[in-house]
Amino acid sequence: MAAKQRNNVSNKDKGKAPVKAPVVDAKSGALPSLGYLALIAADPLQIKVHLNVYFDVQNSSYDVAGPGHTIVAYQSEVFDEPLTTEVTCGDYKPVVSGCTPTKCGRFLKDNVFNATVIQTMINIIEKGMVFGGGAGGPSILDLASGAVSHGEQFISIFQAAKQNKQEIFNQKDRETFLHVKNTLKDTIEDHFGTKNLYLTAPTFFSRITDKPAKTANDIYWMPHIDRRTYGSFVYTSLVYLNDQGVDYEGGEFLFIERDDVTPGQQRTPTDSPDKYSQSIVQPRAGRMSFFTSGDENEHTVKMVTSGTRYAVTISFTCDEASAIPDPTFE
């Protein structure tokens, strides 16, 4: 079934001359080509490396209806009470007392954010894509660094806005984002009994369509472990902004269930997810999901085959040195 499309944002600039969207060179804040490089947290020059795992190298054939694949949260279900799962923790070093998880797991809850909040978050994404979005399926907006997809590369949305004398975001946008971020932080701290969490990079909005990949950056469905990829992550949270199976097809979130999580030992993400059982979450507008970021929660996203998938990923760390300030939206 083809997903229906929603007209989420009116295009007030329709018919106007194209907005200039300068690609910034390396000397003035450019984003380098994606490569297998060391991660440099909160550095806008390395944002493509931060997002590497979401847009990696090859197609995949795994089937969300395959043997051992269990849908734990359907889009049509409403979880007014949290759906929680406890899993064996992987390696978390160094340990930060009162913050590093002593129990690991997953948490999902619906109806945390109302329709106005969700629509404002979608509007933020679409405003951020005023310069065109990505050439392939995924487009990314990172408000901390200002990086936004533009064709086959990234530009600084804030530099472009200044050059075009254009105000993109407003106070309501910032207040709504901070409300969502603080709600996630408070809920994570309450559920895991932790404190002193800090926002960390990357924290980003994503818009994924079924457009064919144009570069290696456009392939986002390889299994990965956030803590291995980003280093600073301790808790990963997501808010889904529209409905799987209604607004788009594909795009399910998959936990790869492996039995080789050994505390104190690092694990390499699988390149053969079909070998393992999978716990599947179908995104629902307003659905909040978070989980500990270690080996115990290897995961991926299934390819979007039609429509447009909107989500925001907000990440937290226990390491004050890896903290980033709240985005200023300018």
Distance CA 211, CA 219 (A): 11
Per the annotation, the verdict on 267 as an active-site residue is no
DSSP string, 241-289: -S-BTTTEEE--EEEEE-S---TTS--PPPS-GGGSEEEEE---TT-EE
Angstrom CA distances, 202 to 31, 182, 231, stand at 14, 16, 11
Nearest to 208 by CA among 131, 108, 258, 283: 283
Distance CA 104, CA 89 (A): 5
Rg (CA), the chain: 19
180-186-189 Cα angle (round to 5): 140
Give the sign of the dihedral formed by CA 25, CA 30, CA 36, CA 39: positive
Q: How, if at all, do strands 69-73 and 277-281 pair?
A: parallel
The three-class DSSP label of residue 237 is: strand
Angstrom CA distances, 316 to 64, 84, 181, 197, 226, stand at 29, 19, 10, 6, 11
Q: Which helix (H) or strand (E) holds 159?
A: helix 157-163
Distance CA 79, CA 110 (A): 5
Distance CA 212, CA 224 (A): 22
Do residues 307 and 4 touch, judged by C-beta distance below 8 A? yes
Selecting among 106, 227, 284, 309, the annotated active-site residue is: 309
Distance CA 193, CA 11 (A): 44
Token pair for residue 53?
A: 């795992």
**Which residues are tagged catalytic?**
309
